[in-house]
Amino acid sequence: MNNHFLKFKDISTYDINEITDRAIELKSGSQSNVLSNLSAVLLFEKPSLRTKLGFWVGVQKLGGNPLYFGPEEVGLGSRESVRDVSSVISRIADIIIIRTFEHEKIHEFSKYSSVPVINALTDHEHPCQALADIQTIKENLTEIKGSKVAFIGDGNNVSRSLSYALAGSGANLVIASPNNYQIDDKTIDCANRYAINTGGSVTKISDPKKAVLNADIIYTDVWASMGQEKEQEIRKAAFERYQVNENLLDMASKNVKFMHDLPAHPNEEISENLLYDERSIVFPQSENRMWSQMALIEKIIKRK
Ligand code: NVA
């Protein structure tokens, strides 16, 4: 395993299983002091609830000291160069967790960092979310291998990391998106290559009703991600047929579960009360952000 976790492919398909199994153990009471006397810097250029909270409390549970810098504070690449910020922080802190816009920025940061860097979301990937998703699916299905997941929505950072995570876990992911918002072919090809020995697969289509047939999990995300606020109205029109609602869930497998990385926009990508439907596993999924991030940090620190 690479010392940085910038994109999902930085971990092997073997690591996915190990990290998510460990997350389940930590959740059921197993203890770890792996960050004792160590500091974790959280450097966030976009808003965050689950990621920030999960890392903050998770670092404390691992015996470490979390230090948070919000969007106004550091000015990564504007007030100070990415290289200089990286060189300073990595001389003092022991692990760095970054949420930013351009993926290139975190990549550049990692080049100059002498300590591990974790991607807490960029425009390109959201790999920590995907780890929590695998943990959640393992907790809710008898077998993740061979299961079918339908992602209805944007070919974005969340669906991109999920492609690697699911294919790498032996699951079959179908991504249904409108034209112009489909996931790129490079991701599909790379995810299918990454999963060559797992039996998993990723495909894309445009019909959401076809995508959910026999699905064990239906997953969605916002139509306009952070940084795309100006496109909100255009996207609303393009994604109109892609709302996940009770009727769509009824078309899937009898025991289908519903997932969303949150925050949600009721009456847009989901119907008004879907988060509270008995088939929703959205809130345990959000809790798992913390457990899987703890398991990830533990693995990275032990490998250092
Ligand atoms: N795709 C969303 C995920 C939020 C957790 C965004 O990037 O805003």
Structure tokens at 220: 């969605």
Are residues 137 and 272 located together in one domain of the fold?
A: yes
Are residues 109 and 141 located together in one domain of the fold?
A: no
Mean pLDDT across the stretch 94-110?
97
- At residue 281's C-alpha, the angle toward residues 232 and 157, to 5°, is 40
Are residues 218 and 262 located together in one domain of the fold?
A: yes
For the chain, how many structural domains are there in total?
A: 2
Is the residue at 229 inside a domain?
A: yes
Are residues 273 and 187 located together in one domain of the fold?
A: yes
What Cα–Cα distance (Å) separates residue 50 from each residue in 61, 141, 158, 212, 252? 16, 23, 14, 27, 28
Is the residue at 260 inside a domain?
A: yes
Are residues 68 and 158 located together in one domain of the fold?
A: no
Q: What's the mean pLDDT when you consider all of the chain? A: 97
How does pLDDT run across 227-263, given as a tens digit for each residue? 999 999 999 999 999 999 999 999 999 999 999 999 9
Question: Would you say the CB of residue 134 lies under 6 angstroms from ligand 1?
Answer: no
Is the residue at 120 inside a domain?
A: yes
Domain interval for residue 269: 129-281
How does pLDDT run across 124-140, given as a tens digit for each residue? 999 999 999 999 999 99
Give the contacts of 167 (CB within 8 A, at least 6 positions apart): 173, 191, 192, 194, 195, 198, 200, 201, 202
| Protein residue closest via CA to atom 2 of ligand 1 | 225
Is the residue at 23 inside a domain?
A: yes
Are residues 152 and 29 located together in one domain of the fold?
A: no
Give, for ligand 1, the residue of 48, 103, 221, 285 to mutate: max count of ligand atoms closer than 8 Å to Cβ. 221
Q: Are 222 and 191 in contact (CB under 8 A)?
A: no
How does pLDDT run across 185-208, given as a tens digit for each residue? 999 999 999 999 999 999 999 999
Are residues 208 and 184 located together in one domain of the fold?
A: yes
Q: Which atom of ligand 1 is nearest to the CA of 157?
A: 1
| Protein residue closest via CA to atom 1 of ligand 1 | 225
241: nearest Cα among 210, 262, 214: 210
Are residues 268 and 156 located together in one domain of the fold?
A: yes
Q: Which atom of ligand 1 is nearest to the CA of 228?
A: 8
Give, for ligand 1, the residue of 99, 126, 151, 239 to mutate: max count of ligand atoms closer than 8 Å to Cβ. 126
Is the residue at 2 inside a domain?
A: no
How does pLDDT run across 267-277, given as a tens digit for each residue? 999 999 999 99
Structure tokens at 156: 């974005």
What confidence score (pLDDT) does residue 303 get?
84
Are residues 147 and 272 located together in one domain of the fold?
A: yes
Are residues 154 and 101 located together in one domain of the fold?
A: no
3 state SS of 204: strand
- Give the Å distance between the CA of 284 and the centre of ligand 1: 18
Are residues 89 and 170 located together in one domain of the fold?
A: no
Q: How far apart are the C-alpha atoms of 236 and 16, rounded to whole Å?
A: 34
Is the residue at 149 inside a domain?
A: yes
Is the residue at 71 inside a domain?
A: yes
CATH number for 273: 3.40.50.1370
Is the residue at 121 inside a domain?
A: yes
Are residues 254 and 274 located together in one domain of the fold?
A: yes
Where does the chain show beta strands of DSSP type E?
Answer: 39-44, 65-69, 95-99, 117-119, 148-152, 172-176, 201-205, 217-220, 257-260
257: nearest Cα among 238, 267, 244: 244
Question: Would you say the CB of residue 130 lies under 6 angstroms from ligand 1?
Answer: no
Q: What is the pTM of this model?
A: 0.97
Question: Would you say the CB of residue 225 lies under 6 angstroms from ligand 1?
Answer: yes
Neighbours of 37 (CB within 10 A): 9
Give, for ligand 1, the residue of 101, 163, 226, 235 to mutate: max count of ligand atoms closer than 8 Å to Cβ. 226
Q: Which atom of ligand 1 is nearest to the CA of 261?
A: 5
